[in-house]
Amino acid sequence: MSAMADFGKVAVLLGGASAEREVSLMSGAGVLAALRSQGIDAHAFDPAERDLVELGREGFARCFIALHGRHGEDGTVQGALELLGIPYTGSGVMASAIGMDKVMTKRVWSTFGLPTPRSITLDAAQQTKERLRTVPDELGLPLIVKAPHEGSSIGVVKVNGYSDMQGAVAEAMKYDSVVLIEEFVSGDELTCPILDDKALPVVKIVAPEGKYDYQNKYFTDDVKYIVPAGLPAEEEKEIQRLAVEAFTAIGCRGWARADFMVRATDRTPYLLEINTSPGMTSHSLVPKSAAAAGIGYEALCVRILSLARLDGKD
């Protein structure tokens, strides 16, 4: 317990103002309870309800970021904490900003030669009926339309036919002025967390009818999470290698989670996105993977907190 006191007063940042507020409140509640159970002086802090300046005024020594989505996972809160001089969990300003932007993430990964599905990015001016009709010809059907700056499958729509394109783009546009349209990769859905620059066990996700959407992620027990994933040893190692490379290419630190699809026809893995502030709810994937590696939820939270840093300071 004396070692836990060395962390000082800890703020668990939760809630926030993004579309993922509800999930963040669940993640934060779990983290808060875990840290307190280990004797850490942890307190809930909701940036949607309180000014971040109060963190300095109230003597917080470090922050556990359990925020998801905009204004929590995108470098903005990280930048504020840099100005306040309060170490925080997860990636720094630049890596958080890139990781939250699926378009920029794909551009970085492509520069490093990392595999990611073929895609087209369209801003508002490019989203004409004529242009949208040509997209399936370029990427094939089905395809996936995404809001590039959201997580938790918010603003993600699968398109099965030409007539679905306009509605799918309109849904994504509720959350973003730009849409990312990707080829659909049919196969196994996998995720691989990274903790302190090392890959944890791969998790296989089996969702009903392949719909790993917001509702199934957090509010049903219909999704099966298989860990160990049951992959051939070499395939698991390759997924873990790619996860660490994707993490490093973006400039991440501390912890994150890389999501993949593995094409059924030839077992080629494709990186989909990286989450720099992953969920920590009862349904979340990082705790499940960590448990398979012998790291319990409470120990995981303490380990992540121990990695709290400021940019450029180890």
Greater model confidence, 266 or 177: 266
List the catalytic residue out of 70, 75, 279, 284: 279
Q: Please, are residues 281 and 23 in contact by the beta-carbon 8 Å criterion?
A: yes
Q: 297-306 and 21-37 are packed helices; what angle lies between their axes, rounded to 10 degrees?
A: 90
Q: Is 20 a catalytic residue?
A: yes
Domain presence at residue 310: no
Q: Is 275 a catalytic residue?
A: yes
List the catalytic residue out of 15, 16, 18, 20: 20
Confidence of residue 176 (pLDDT cuts 50, 70, 90): confident
Residues 14, 157 share a domain: no
In a 3-state reduction of DSSP, which class is residue 256? strand
Question: In this predicted model, what pLDDT tens digit does every residue of 81-90 receive, in sequence order?
Answer: 999 999 999 9
Domain presence at residue 66: yes
Dihedral Cα 44, 203, 239, 136, nearest 10 deg: -90
Model confidence at 115: pLDDT above 90: yes
Mean pLDDT of 273-299: 94
Q: Is 209 a catalytic residue?
A: no
The pLDDT assigned to 266 comes to: 96
Q: What is the pTM of this model?
A: 0.91
Model confidence at 94: pLDDT above 90: yes
Model confidence at 145: pLDDT above 70: yes
Reading across the β-sheet that carries 143-146, which strands appear in turn?
Answer: 119-123, 178-183, 143-146, 156-159
**The domain that contains 228 carries what CATH number?**
3.30.470.20
Domain presence at residue 313: no
Rounded CA separation 301/240 (Å): 21
Q: Is 273 a catalytic residue?
A: yes
Residues 194, 50 share a domain: no
Rounded CA separation 243/202 (Å): 10
Q: Is 259 a catalytic residue?
A: yes
User: Which element (helix H / strand E) includes 181?
Assistant: strand 178-183
Q: Is 99 a catalytic residue?
A: no
Q: 76-84 and 93-100 are packed helices; what angle lies between their axes, rounded to 10 degrees?
A: 170
Q: Please, are residues 114 and 271 in contact by the beta-carbon 8 Å criterion?
A: yes
Domain presence at residue 38: yes
Domain that holds residue 217: 99-115+186-302
CB atoms within 10 A of CB 208: 12
List the catalytic residue out of 119, 152, 277, 289: 152
List the catalytic residue out of 88, 175, 214, 218: 218
Domain presence at residue 308: no
Q: Please, are residues 254 and 91 in contact by the beta-carbon 8 Å criterion?
A: yes
List the catalytic residue out of 75, 176, 273, 284: 273
The pLDDT assigned to 18 comes to: 87
List the catalytic residue out of 24, 27, 275, 277: 275
Mean pLDDT of 130-146: 94
Mean pLDDT of 269-287: 93
Q: Please, are residues 146 and 173 in contact by the beta-carbon 8 Å criterion?
A: no
Percent of the chain with pLDDT over 70: 94
Domain count, the chain: 3
Q: How many residues does the chain have?
A: 314
List the catalytic residue out of 257, 277, 289, 297: 257
List the catalytic residue out of 82, 189, 213, 259: 259
Confidence of residue 210 (pLDDT cuts 50, 70, 90): low
Residues 177, 126 share a domain: yes
Q: Is 152 a catalytic residue?
A: yes
DSSP at 126: G
Rounded CA separation 47/95 (Å): 21
Q: Fill in the amino acid letter for 173.
A: M
Contacts 24+ apart (CB under 8 A), 161-167: 161/136, 162/133, 162/136, 165/132, 165/133, 165/135, 165/136, 166/129, 166/132
Domain presence at residue 123: yes
Confidence of residue 2 (pLDDT cuts 50, 70, 90): low
Q: Please, are residues 280 and 213 in contact by the beta-carbon 8 Å criterion?
A: no
Q: Is 58 a catalytic residue?
A: no
User: Which element (helix H / strand E) includes 302?
Assistant: helix 297-306
**The domain that contains 139 carries what CATH number?**
3.30.1490.20
**The domain that contains 48 carries what CATH number?**
3.40.50.20
Domain presence at residue 192: yes
